[in-house]
Amino acid sequence: MLKGLNHLTLAVSDLGRSIAFYQDTLGLTLNAQWDKGAYLSLDGL
């Protein structure tokens, strides 16, 4: 059984749209963003 998740890397074609989805739909917090990537976190994990 899965008890936790440390980190997950995803390759996406549209970074801005993906960040919006993860923030608005899944409730993740944007911690950092750069040209080709971003770091998001979920409270409690």
pLDDT tens digits for range 18-45: 999 999 999 999 999 999 999 999 887 6
pTM passes above 0.95? no
Q: In 1-45, at which residue ranges do the beta strands (DSSP E only) sit?
A: 29-34, 37-41
* Spatial distance between the Cα atoms of 43 and 9, rounded to a whole number of angstroms: 18
What does the pLDDT read at residue 45? 63
